[in-house]
Structures are given as C-alpha cells and as structure tokens.
C-alpha cells in the first residue's frame, strides 16, 4: 500500500483553491474517460517504500537506477527534493506491437575446452534462442492517453525550472500526445518537432514508407532554459561547393568579405588596387593576406578562402538524417528491442544540458540515455518497470565504470518481473480461473465452483499504472457498467487488487451502491504472486586456495536448475515442433544446467539478507558464451567458477530469462 500521496503541483496555501494549481487549457484533448485522470491528478502520486538493492562503484554517487513505474518513481524523487534538468523518454508508441527479448542458451562451461578445440566443427552450429516477453505495446487509445497524461504530469513535477523534455514517438499516437504536451507544458514552451530518419526506404511499403520517428521538444520555462547549439555534419550538396584544393590538399571555397548590403556598414578603403566597402579593417585584411587566406579573382576582386576542415558544421536543424539506427553489427547493440543509438542521445544531451546536470529517462529501456549521460559528465536517473531493462542498464553502466545505486519501488506492480509476465503468471496461478474474453472487457475470465457457479474475475490492467490502485471510480465502473451486462445466473464477482487506499471506504461504497443480488468479493493479488515465485536451485562448492602468496576463494557451481527456464524451453520446443517445416532438434539442457546462467556475482562485504548488494566479483556470460570478468571482456569460455580475493558471503545468480537468486554461502 502507498505510504502517502505526493502532490503533482505545489502544495496549496490556506484559502487557495486546489484547482488553481491544475487547470487544463482551452485546447484540451477530449476523449472518452478523459475526466478520470483529473481525479487521480488531484489525489497525487502514490509514494511507496523504496529499497536500495545494490551499490555499484567505489565512490558515493547521485546516479541511480530505479525499478518501478514512472509515476511512483517521480513521487520518490519529489519527496526527496530531487529535480532533473533534462528528460528524454521513449515510451510505448501504442503501436500494437508486442516486444520480446531474445534469450540465448549458453554453451556448457564444463565442456568449454572441448568446444574451443573443436571450434571449426562448430562453425555452422547456431546458438539456440527463444523469446522472453518484455512488455506489450498494445493499448486502448483512451487508456493510453490518460496513462500518458498522468506520466507527463508526474515528470513535469520533478523538472527544474530551466529543464527540457524530449518525447520520442511515431505516427501511431504522436499527434495526440502533442496536444497533451501543449496542455501540460504550454504551447509557448514548444520548441521543435524533430524528425529522425530511423531506417532506410521501405521497398515493400504499400503507400508511403514510414521510416521516421517524431521527437517533441519542450522546455518548462518560456525564456530560462538550457540550450547549446549543436553542429551537424554538412550534407553532400554543401560539401560539393568546396571545389578548390590548396597545396596541402585542403578543400576551400571563396567567401564574400565585402560589406555591401549589410545594415551595420563597413570599412571603405582600397587594398591592392581594389576599392570596396569591406567587412574588416585594413589590418585584418593584411593579416589574412599574410596567411595566404585571400583569393584574388580574375576580374580584380578579393574574396576570402573558407576552409572546409575549419568549419564547425551546420547548426543542427529539426530534421535529423545523419544518425543511423542500431543495426545487427553495431558494437553498442544490447539485444534490446527498442534500443536507440548513442549518437541520438548524445545530440540531445549536449544540446539541452551541461556537465553536472541530472538527465532522466523514465522509460529507460536499454539504458542508452544513462550511458551517454555518464560518458558526457552528467548525472543520470534510469527508471523502468521491466526487469530486463534494469539488468541491461545495470550491466552496461557497470561495464562503463559508472558509480550508481539500484533502487526498487515496492509498488506491487513489479512483484514478478514485468507487467506482461505478471499478467501471464496471474492466468496460471489464480485457482480455477478459466480465461474467457467473451464475457466483457472488464473481466479476465471466470472461476467455477460448486457454491457460486461461474464467477467473473476482474484483474487490474498491469500495463496501465493508474489501475494499480483500486478506488471508488473503478468500483463504480464495475458496479454500474460491467455487472449489469452479466447473465442473470451470476451470483458473485471477484475483484483482485494490487493496492487500495482505504478498504473500509470500498466496503462502504459497495454496500451503498450495489443494488444487485451479485456479491462482490475483494481479493489481494499480492498474496498469490508472492507464492508464485520459485527461486532457482543451485549446488556449489566454496574453497579457499592457500597454496599462493595471497588467499584466493573459489566458488564452483556444479549444478543449476531453473523451473522458469525449463518451462520456457518446454513451451518453445512444443511450439517449434508443431510449426517447424524441417526436422526440429529440441533444445535440451545438460544435467548440470549451467547453460541457463547469464551472470554470477559475489558479495564479500555484506552478509545480511536485506543489505544492498556489493558486487565484489562478477562474471557475465555473454550470448556467445565468452565471459566478461568485472567489466573486462575476454575471449575465454566460462569454466563454471568465480574467484574472489576475500571470503564471499553471498552469491547472486541471474538466469538467462532475467530471474535472480541470492544465496548465503557456506564453506565446504
């Protein structure tokens, strides 16, 4: 349950109307249920307990990765007085796409040496992979706009007065969100609609190929904001003008140095027989001549030599054609479905922030915003609800040598791994649930029992953060909109919730407003999810090597079993065997099961169960089965061991689906 609700806007003073702080403009975008978001805005942002789960780096830092929803992360920032100076967000586009992460089976480290010797024989042996759902970009348009409005209001509440925001969308929903941005930030604070060409031409397009995204750039203040001119490379048509080449091979073109037509006047004199109104005094003219930077034309005129290699570039325009998307061969590729190129974020961060400022991304994805901000000397805040995003960003930033803390918002939405997988888990773990979308959009399905017969079940939409709190608004829709549509044989409906504000208030509302004979039963979804998570099983040995001058502790993992990974492999094999046109060889794990491990970390600092994690020694097994040791990439295969200079107290193992298991180590 939320600790309290943090206002989106400044706290009102005595006698001031609450709505003075929240006025939707006359250019409001009206759509079905757009009034519902107003009630949530007035209630405030839910503030949940935030726990620190890990510290990375040797020094204290303001940088952070937050595992949680945008609104609850903003509540935490505002409660702690943290203001951000630049926001870039790449939220879901309401495109109907369903994004997944490729999951790779690693090579068995116990036969790594044999594999290395037989490398030539394995050239044609592809790594087997399957997909792990990360999030679904599947939205009802009205719900999406309410969701975006609440998120944008939350983001605005933590922006400094001279901050800027860049919102990255595409043609599916961008034009609607543009109106919301006008409402929230003000039409006068709109700066640019940036067009980014994200792909080459589509030869198979039915009409005109959609090969660009839109990035909407707003500032919080109309006059006081950060902006540094960014120069783009010149296009080929401009470069073609530099046809002259000097004795050193430098390209140049002649430039006009007369002041004719300029409003500011000029200098009237004769130089080497040529009289004109010049842009510079004669001393400057002589200096250019001495440096060989004057060009004397055939008709007796004088022009300057403008060298291409001395020009800074073209001041950045709003159409960006020079930044290429991430391709399959890119070194920065993280295997994340929606990853954006570092060059894109580098341009934005350099333009709208200075060193030492805080750059935030509340839909952080692959961690590109945080990675580039760190590289450019800015502080960063990376937030995402997906565990895959948190792990990808964490590993990326650790490899880059960043100092930061990991925090988790205990908001109930991230109980499992991410919204899609939580929803999948719900359909499996609710006893007796039979999924049936035909009974209405409000219900996920029905539960059958001998006492009540068929009971429709409501589960909050975990993709919509606003639905995590069960309130009287939602109950009113259930009672007055959904329940009257049910068959007369229904005796009970079951309403699951993640969070509630006041249980007594809900019970009273049901008593006063439920005029039907249908019983309404409220159930806490967290109780089911807490019991649904099975930790992976690990067998290991821990030994101290006393034969060397310094102590070396070695943990050898002898067996690893993940029920989740096994379930995913079984599911993949069944689907592939049913649909494959060729003979399909099922994916099988060895008896040791070490191929299902992605990362192993040792904490030699803290033994307490709830203490923040210290990764004192760490091995990450990359998808090609080579290992990265404490951020240093190698070409070696993993041998199933990890070493530490001091005695390890705890071990964390991450499987290839992203689940992490922490165990207390015992010397054997």
**What are the structural domains, with CATH classification, of the chain?**
4-96+138-231+317-409 (3.40.50.150), 236-310 (no CATH), 419-532 (3.40.1340), 537-664 (2.60.40)
Geometric angle at alpha carbon 327, from 133 and 627, rounded to 5°: 70
CA–CA gap between residue 366 and residue 400 (Å, rounded): 14
Given this model, what pLDDT does residue 305 score?
95
Side-chain-side CA neighbours of residue 469 (13 Å): 24
Write b or e for each residue in 455-478: b if 16 or more Cβ atoms lie within 10 A of its Cβ, otherwise e. bbbbbbbbbbbbbbbbbbebbeeb
- 357 is written with which tokens? 């400022």
DSSP state of 227: -
Given this model, what pLDDT does residue 513 score?
93
Given this model, what pLDDT does residue 507 score?
92
CA–CA gap between residue 364 and residue 385 (Å, rounded): 9
The answer to whether 416 and 529 have CB atoms below 8 angstroms apart is yes
Nearest one of 88, 67, 129 to 340, comparing CA atoms: 88
SS3 370: helix
CA–CA gap between residue 280 and residue 283 (Å, rounded): 8
DSSP state of 258: B
Neighbours of 115 (CB within 10 A): 16
Neighbours of 447 (CB within 10 A): 18
Tell me the per-residue pLDDT of 139-180, one tens digit each, with 9 for 90 and over: 677 778 888 999 999 999 999 999 999 999 988 889 989 999
Given this model, what pLDDT does residue 218 score?
97
| CA dist list (Å): 577 to 101, 133, 580, 628 | 21, 20, 6, 34
DSSP assignments along 92-109, one per residue? ----SEEEEEEEEPPP-G
The answer to whether 493 and 486 have CB atoms below 8 angstroms apart is yes
φ, ψ for residue 405, nearest 5 deg: -120, 150
Given this model, what pLDDT does residue 469 score?
79
Given this model, what pLDDT does residue 122 score?
34
Give the neighbor-by-neighbor strand order of the sheet with 244-245: 244-245, 251-255, 302-307, 294-296
- 563 is written with which tokens? 């029920």
Geometric angle at alpha carbon 78, from 73 and 82, rounded to 5°: 95
Tell me the per-residue pLDDT of 390-430, one tens digit each, with 9 for 90 and over: 999 999 999 999 999 999 998 765 555 555 666 666 777 78
- Which DSSP helix (H) or strand (E) runs through 521? strand 519-524
Looking only at the bridges linking them, the beta strands covering 404-409 and 445-449 are unpaired
- 410 is written with which tokens? 């205990």
CA–CA gap between residue 651 and residue 506 (Å, rounded): 44
Residues in the chain where the model's pLDDT stays below 50: 15-20, 115-127, 138
Percent composition of the chain: helix, strand, coil (DSSP 3-state, to 5): 30, 30, 40
φ, ψ for residue 4, nearest 5 deg: -165, 180
- 571 is written with which tokens? 């599911």
CA–CA gap between residue 45 and residue 465 (Å, rounded): 11
Residue 250 CB-density burial (10 A; 0-12 exposed, 13-18 middle, 19+ buried): middle
Beta strands in 62-207 (DSSP E): 64-67, 84-89, 97-104, 129-137, 159-169, 190-197
CA–CA gap between residue 410 and residue 610 (Å, rounded): 14
CA–CA gap between residue 17 and residue 8 (Å, rounded): 15
Residue where the block lists tokens 């709830």: 610
Rg, the chain, Cα only: 30
Given this model, what pLDDT does residue 330 score?
67
Distance of CA 406 to the CA centre of its chain: 15
CA–CA gap between residue 177 and residue 453 (Å, rounded): 44
Given this model, what pLDDT does residue 127 score?
42
Q: Is the dihedral of CA 565, 567, 571, 573 positive or negative?
A: positive
CA–CA gap between residue 478 and residue 474 (Å, rounded): 6
Nearest one of 379, 340, 337 to 358, comparing CA atoms: 379
The answer to whether 518 and 486 have CB atoms below 8 angstroms apart is yes
Neighbours of 16 (CB within 10 A): 11
The reported pTM is 0.78
Beta strands in 251-293 (DSSP E): 251-255, 267-271, 274-278
- 537 is written with which tokens? 């099983």
Side-chain-side CA neighbours of residue 423 (13 Å): 17
DSSP state of 351: H
């Amino acid at each position: 349950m939320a600790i309290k609700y943090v206002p989106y806007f400044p706290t009102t003073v005595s006698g001031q109307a609450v709505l003075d702080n929240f006025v939707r403009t006359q250019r409001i975008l009206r759509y079905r249920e757009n009034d519902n978001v107003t009630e949530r805005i007035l209630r405030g942002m839910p503030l949940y307990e935030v726990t620190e789960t890990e510290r990375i780096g040797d020094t204290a830092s303001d940088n952070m990765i937050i595992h949680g929803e945008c609104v609850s992360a903003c509540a935490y920032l505002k409660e702690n007085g943290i203001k951000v100076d630049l926001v870039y967000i790449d939220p879901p586009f309401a495109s109907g796409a369903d994004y997944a992460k490729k999951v790779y089976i690693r090579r068995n480290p116990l036969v790594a040496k044999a594999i290395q010797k037989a490398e030539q024989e394995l050239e044609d042996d592809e790594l087997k992979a399957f997909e792990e759902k990360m999030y679904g970009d599947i939205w009802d348009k009205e719900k999406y706009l309410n969701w975006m409005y609440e998120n944008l209001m939350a983001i605005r509440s933590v922006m400094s007065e001279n901050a800027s925001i860049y919102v990255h969308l595409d043609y599916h929903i961008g034009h609607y969100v543009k109106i919301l941005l006008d409402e929230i930030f003000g039409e006068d604070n709109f700066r640019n609609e940036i067009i980014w060409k994200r792909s080459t031409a589509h030869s198979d397009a039915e009409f005109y190929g959609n090969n660009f995204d839109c990035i909407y750039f707003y500032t919080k203040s109309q006059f006081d904001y950060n902006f540094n001119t960014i120069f783009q490379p010149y296009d080929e048509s401009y470069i073609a003008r530099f046809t002259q080449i000097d004795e050193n091979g430098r390209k140049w073109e002649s430039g006009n140095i007369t002041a004719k037509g300029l409003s500011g006047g000029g200098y009237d004199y004769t130089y080497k027989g040529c009289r004109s109104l010049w842009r510079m005094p004669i001393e400057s003219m002589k200096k250019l001549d001495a440096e060989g930077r004057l060009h004397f034309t055939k008709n007796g005129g004088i022009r300057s030599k403008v060298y291409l290699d001395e020009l800074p570039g073209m001041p950045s325009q709003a159409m960006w054609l020079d930044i290429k998307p991430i391709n399959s061969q890119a070194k920065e590729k993280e295997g994340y479905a929606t990853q954006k190129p570092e060059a894109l974020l580098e341009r934005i961060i350099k333009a709208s922030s200075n060193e030492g400022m805080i750059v935030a991304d509340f839909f952080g994805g692959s961690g590109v915003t945080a990675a580039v901000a760190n590289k450019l000397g800015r502080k960063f805040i990376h937030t995402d609800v997906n565990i895959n995003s948190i792990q990808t960003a964490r590993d990326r930033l650790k490899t880059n040598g960043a100092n930061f803390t990991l925090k988790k918002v205990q908001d109930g939405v991230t109980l499992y791994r991410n919204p899609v997988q939580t929803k999948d888990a719900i359909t499996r773990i609710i006893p007796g649930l039979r999924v049936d979308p035909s009974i209405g959009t409000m219900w996920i399905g029905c539960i059958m029992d001998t006492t009540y017969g068929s009971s429709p079940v409501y589960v909050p939409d975990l993709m919509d953060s606003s639905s995590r709190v069960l309130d009287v608004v939602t109950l009113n829709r259930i009672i007055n909109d959904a329940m009257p549509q049910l068959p007369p044989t229904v005796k009970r409906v079951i309403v699951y919730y993640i969070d509630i504000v006041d249980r007594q208030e809900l019970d009273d509302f049901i008593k006063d407003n439920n005029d039907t004979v249908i019983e309404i039963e409220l159930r806490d979804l967290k109780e089911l999810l807490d019991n649904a998570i099975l930790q992976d099983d690990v067998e290991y040995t821990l030994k101290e090597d006393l034969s060397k001058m310094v102590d070396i502790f070695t943990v050898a993992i002898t067996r690893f079993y993940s029920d989740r990974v096994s379930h995913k492999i079984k599911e993949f094999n069944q689907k592939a065997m049913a649909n494959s046109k060729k003979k399909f060889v099922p994916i099988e794990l060895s008896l040791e099961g070490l191929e299902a491990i992605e990362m192993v970390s040792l904490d030699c600092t803290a033994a307490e169960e709830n203490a923040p994690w210290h990764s004192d020694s760490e091995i990450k097994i990359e998808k090609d089965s080579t290992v990265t040791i404490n951020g240093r990439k190698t070409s070696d295969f993993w041998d199933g061991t990890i070493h530490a200079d001091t005695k390890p107290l705890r071990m964390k193992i991450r499987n290839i689906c992203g689940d992490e298991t922490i165990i207390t180590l015992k010397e054997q």
